[in-house]
Amino acid sequence: MAYLSLSQVTKRFGAVTAVDRLDLDIAEGECVAMLGPSGCGKTTTLRMVAGFEDLDDGEIRAGDKLLSSRRKNYYLPPERRNFGMVFQAFAVWPHLSVFDNIAFPLRVRRLPRAEIEARTAEALAHTNLTAAAKGSPDDLSGGGKQRVALARALAIRPDVMLLDEPLSSLDPHFREEMRFEIKDLQRRFGFAILYVTHDQAEAMALSDRLLVMREGVVQQVGTPLEVYRAPANRFVFEFIGLSSFLPAALGAGAMRVGGEHARWPASAPPPPELVAAGAAVLAARPTEIEFVAEGGLRGAVARKAFLGETIDYRIAVGDVEVRVQKSRHVAGPAVGESCALAFPRARWYPQD
Amino acid sequence: MTSAVATTSRFGTPQVLLGLSIAILVIVVAVPVLLIFVNAFWVDGHFNVADVIKVLREKDTYQALLNSLILASGVTVTGTVVGTFFAWLVTRTDLPLKGAMKVLFLVPFMLPSFIGALAWKMLLSPRSGYINRFFIEVLGFDGPVFDIYTYAGIIAVETMYLFPFVFIQVAGALERMDPTLEESARISGADLFTITRKITIPLVLPSILSGALLIMLYSMAHFGTVAVLGIEAGIYNIPTLIYEKIHQSAGSFNSIRTGTVLATVLVITAAFILWLQNRVLARGRYQIIAGKSFRPTEVKLRGLRMPMLAFCLAYIGFTIVLPTATIFMVGGLKTYGLPFAAENFTWENYRYILFEWDLTRDAIWNSISLGFAAAVITMFAGVIISYVIVKMKVRGKGVLEFLGMLPFSVPGSVIALGVILAWSGKYGVNLYNTVWIILVAYIARYMAFSLKANSAALEQVHDSLVEAARASGATMWQALRDVVLPLVRPGMLAAFFLIFLPALRELTVSVLLYGPTTRTIGVAIYTLNEDGETVYSAALAGIALIIIIVGESVIKRLFKGAAGRKG
Amino acid sequence: MAEVSIRGLGKRYGAKRVLDDLELDLVDGECFTLLGPSGCGKTVLLRLIAGFEAPDAGTIHLGGQCVADGAAGQVVPPNERGLGVVFQDYAVWPHMNVADNVGYPLKLAGVDAALRRERTRAAIAQVGLAGLDERLPSQLSGGQQQRVALARALVSEPRLLLLDEPLNNLDANLREEMRFEIKALQKKLGITILYVTHDQEIALGIADRLAVMDATGRLRQVGTPEEIYARPADDFVFRFLGIANFLPVRRVGDALRLGSGSDPWSGPPPDRPGAALAAGFRPSDVLLARSGPGLPGTVRRASFLGAQVDYLIDVAGTLVRVTTPSHECVERDLLFVEGETCRIGFAAVQWFEGDVVAGVAR
User: Cβ contact (<8 Å) for B566 and C94?
Assistant: yes
Residues of A in contact with C327 (CB under 8 A): 229, 285, 287-288, 345
Q: Please tell me if residue C348 touches chain A, with a CB cutoff of 8 Å.
A: yes
Please say whether the beta carbons of C255 and C239 come within 8 A: no
Per-residue model confidence as pLDDT tens digits over A16-71: 999 999 999 999 999 999 999 988 999 999 999 999 998 999 999 998 899 999 99
Asked whether residue A287 falls in the same domain as residue A224, the answer is no
Same domain, A230 and A330: no
Q: Which of residues 282-311 of B touch A (CB under 8 A)?
A: 284, 286-288, 291-292, 294, 297
Q: Distance between CA atoms of A118 and B346, rounded to whole angstroms?
A: 81
B395 touches chain A (CB under 8 A): no
Quick check: B289 pLDDT over 80?
no
- CB within 8 Å of chain B, chain C residues 21-50: 50
Q: Identify whether the C-beta of residue B4 lies closer than 8 Å to the C-beta of residue C52.
A: yes
Q: What percent of chain A has a predicted confidence (pLDDT) above 90?
A: 77
Nearest residue on chain A to B177, alpha-carbon basis: A91
Buried b (16+ CB within 10 A) or exposed e, C212-229: bbbeebbbbbbbebeebb
Nearest CA in chain C to A286: C307
Residues A205 and A254 in one domain: no
Please judge whether B470 and C77 are an interchain contact, meaning their C-beta atoms are less than 8 angstroms apart.
Answer: yes
Q: How far apart are the first and last CA of chain B?
A: 27
Centroid of chain to Cα A22: 16
Split into its structural domains, chain A has a count of: 2
Size of interface A-C (CB pairs under 8 A): 62
**Domain match, A261 and A306 both:** yes
Q: Are residues A306 and A166 in the same domain?
A: no
Name the residue among A51, A43, A42 with its Cα closest to residue A74. A51
Judgement on whether residues A181 and A253 belong to the same structural domain of the protein: no
CB distance from C82 to chain A under 8 Å? no
CB C55, CB C217: distance < 8 Å: no
Would you put residue C14 in left (φ > 0), alpha (ψ -120 to 50) or beta?
Answer: left
Q: Assess: ipTM above 0.95.
A: no
C227: closest CA of chain A, how far (Å) = 11
Cα(B465)–Cα(B407) distance, integer angstroms: 32
For residue A194, the number of C-alpha atoms closer than 13 Å in the C-beta half-sphere is 26
Domain segments of chain B: what residues? 58-331
**Shortest alpha-carbon distance between residue B465 and chain A (Å):** 28
Question: What value does the mean pLDDT take over residues B449-465?
Answer: 88
Which CATH fold would you assign to the domain B58-331?
MetI-like fold (1.10.3720)
A209 and A255 in a single domain? The answer is no
Whether residue A172 lies within 8 A of chain C, CB to CB, comes out as: no
Question: What is the pLDDT at residue B287?
Answer: 54
Of the candidate ranges A309-323, B30-44, B480-494, C96-110, the one whose mean pLDDT is the lowest: B30-44
Q: How far is the CA of B484 from the CAs of B263, B466, C73, in angstroms?
A: 41, 7, 28
Same domain, A103 and A205: yes
Q: C87 and B464: CB-CB below 8 Å? A: yes
> Which chain C residues contact residue B472 at CB under 8 A?
79, 104-105, 108, 152, 156
How far is the C-alpha of C114 from the C-alpha of A164, rounded, in Å?
57
Confidence of residue B187 (pLDDT cuts 50, 70, 90): very high
Query: CA B288 → CA A169, A325, B200, distances in Å?
Result: 15, 44, 11
* Yes or no, beta carbons of B178 and A91 under 8 Å apart: yes
Which domain range does residue A30 map to?
Answer: 2-237
Sign of the torsion angle spanned by Cα atoms C218, C224, C225, C230: negative
A72 and A213 in a single domain? The answer is yes
Mean pLDDT value across residues A164-178 = 87
Let me know whether A207 and A61 are in one domain. yes
Q: Which residue has the higher pLDDT, A302 or C357?
A: A302
Q: What is the pLDDT of residue C209?
A: 95
Instruction: Give the contacts of B23 (CB within 8 A, at least 6 positions apart).
Output: none
Report pLDDT digits (tens) over B233-247: 889 999 999 998 888
Mean pLDDT of chain B: 85
B window 327-356, beta carbon within 8 A of C: none
By mean pLDDT, which of A102-111, A234-243, B407-416, C6-15 is the weakest? B407-416
* pLDDT reported for residue C1: 43
Q: Of A174, A208, A237, which marks where a domain is finished?
A: A237
pLDDT at B1: 34
Residue ending a domain, choose from A237, A259, A284: A237
Q: Using CA atoms, how far apart are residues C117 and C100, in angstroms rounded to an integer?
A: 10
Residue C77 forms contact with B (CB below 8 Å): yes
Cα-based torsion angle of the residue sequence A106, A108, A111, A114 in order, rounded to the nearest 10 degrees: 60
Which whole number is the average pLDDT over B353-375?
Answer: 90
Q: Among B122-131, B331-340, C195-204, which range has the highest average pLDDT?
A: C195-204
The parts of chain C modelled with pLDDT lower than 70 are 1-2, 355, 357-362
CATH code at A342? Answer: 2.40.50.140
Beta bridge partners of A7: A59
- Segments in B249-292 forming alpha helices (H): 253-284
Contact B472 C105 (CB under 8 A): yes
User: What is the full DSSP assignment across B118-136?
Assistant: HHHHHHH-TTT-HHHHIII
Helix (H), strand (E) at residue C115: helix C113-126
C235 with C278: CB under 8 angstroms? Answer: yes
Query: Amino acid identity, residue C301?
Result: R
Q: Using an 8 Å CB-CB cutoff, list chain A residues near B202.
A: 95
CA distance C262 to chain A (A): 31
